[in-house]
Amino acid sequence: MNNRAMADAEGPDGPVYRTIRELAGDERPREKLLNHGPHVLSDAELIAIVLGSGLQGENVLDLARRLLADKGGLAGLLRADGRTLQGTRGVGPAKAAQLAAAVELGRRAREVDPNDRPQLTTPEAVFAHVGSRFLGKTKEQLYVLSLDTRGRLLGSPSLVGGSVNSVVARAAEVFREPILLEATSIVLVHNHPSGDPKPSPQDVIVTKGLSAAGELLEIAVLDHLVVGQNSFVSMQREGYDAFIKARK
């Protein structure tokens, strides 16, 4: 049989391996969840259920434990994208997609109840919410955060394209999701893979153009954060040209 795992016990010839089916009922993640609820499962057990199966010589539970160890725990796993996840032996495109989908569902679930949606009224709150999405990125990416009248996030941050050293930000793409969500304002966030968060002249020009488009659409551009290496610059707070009018 395949999908074998190493048990705690040692046999005369070395470690004793057991398949998931050979584990006791309460040791199997799926049965444990159905009998006792998801809150009693460990991170590895929950991930094992998402993965579904292991590989030759390693059952799905031990694969989940190794995946957590490889990615630096649950926090690291949540930051990993599909391509990064596939860097772990035994995690192919299908399993990587399953994990990425589960993580995204978790993010979206927090936004279902309006009272539970994050309130993004400060640059620090915005950075805390989306800053981790840029970890390890080698290309510039632009996220658009749609907000309601109280500064709460509507839907999920929407991603607009980018390249190695620039973001192509057409107003039609930037405002498509905010219009659908009936947002009253947006916050823009993009990264500098170089690690320097200082806005470039092009960043200022693009922001001014988007602010002007937002005025016509009656969707205010509240801020544009440029994210570097564990730091950011708020163009609104620093008084860049695109926001001088809004501050008067």
CATH of the domain at 142: 3.40.140.10
Look at 179 and 108; give whichever has higher pLDDT: 179
- Which pLDDT band, with edges at 50, 70 and 90, does 209 fall under? very high
Mean pLDDT value of segment 209-226: 95
Mean pLDDT value of segment 208-220: 94
CA–CA distance, 166 with 210 (Å, rounded to integer): 16
Q: At which of 62, 90, 109 does a domain end? A: 109
* Same domain flag for 54 and 103: yes
Q: In what order do the strands lie in the sheet with 185-191?
A: 158-160, 142-147, 185-191, 220-227, 232-234
Q: Where are the alpha helices (DSSP H) in 86-229?
A: 93-109, 123-130, 171-180, 201-217
* C-alpha torsion angle, residues 79, 222, 202, 161 (rounded to 10): 40
CA–CA distance, 234 with 243 (Å, rounded to integer): 10
Given a cut of 90, is residue 155 above it in pLDDT? no
Mean pLDDT value of segment 51-61: 87
Per residue in 115-133, pLDDT (tens digit) is: 678 899 999 999 999 998 8
Look at 192 and 41; give whichever has higher pLDDT: 192
Residue-averaged pLDDT of the chain: 83
Mean pLDDT value of segment 68-89: 86
Is the pTM higher than 0.75? The answer reads no
Give 131's DSSP letter: G
Phi, psi for residue 13 in degrees, rounded to 5: -105, 15
Given a cut of 80, is residue 97 above it in pLDDT? yes
- Which pLDDT band, with edges at 50, 70 and 90, does 6 fall under? very low
* Same domain flag for 126 and 70: no
Given a cut of 60, is residue 135 above it in pLDDT? yes
CA angle 236, 246, 210 (to 5 degrees): 75
* C-alpha torsion angle, residues 50, 53, 55, 61 (rounded to 10): 60
Tell me the residue range of the domain where 40 lies.
4-109
* Same domain flag for 67 and 160: no
Q: At which of 109, 141, 166 does a domain end? A: 109
- Which pLDDT band, with edges at 50, 70 and 90, does 74 fall under? confident
| Highest-pLDDT range among 93-97, 164-168, 237-241 | 93-97
* Alpha-carbon 10 to chain mean position: 40
What is the count of structural domains for the chain? 2
- The CATH number for 23's domain is 1.10.150
CB-neighbour burial class of residue 70 (10 A; exposed 0-12, middle 13-18, buried 19+): middle
Q: At which of 109, 140, 160 does a domain end? A: 109
* Same domain flag for 66 and 143: no
Q: Which residues contact 165 (CB under 8 A, 6 or more apart)?
A: 140, 193
C-beta separation of 54 from 18 below 8 A: no
CA–CA distance, 212 with 77 (Å, rounded to integer): 39
* Same domain flag for 102 and 124: no
Instruction: Quickly tell me which residue has 């049989």 as its tokens.
Output: 1
* Same domain flag for 198 and 232: yes
Supply the pLDDT for residue 10: 44
* Same domain flag for 126 and 242: yes
Supply the pLDDT for residue 163: 52
C-beta separation of 186 from 221 below 8 A: yes
* Same domain flag for 73 and 126: no
* Same domain flag for 61 and 148: no
Mean pLDDT value of segment 133-144: 88
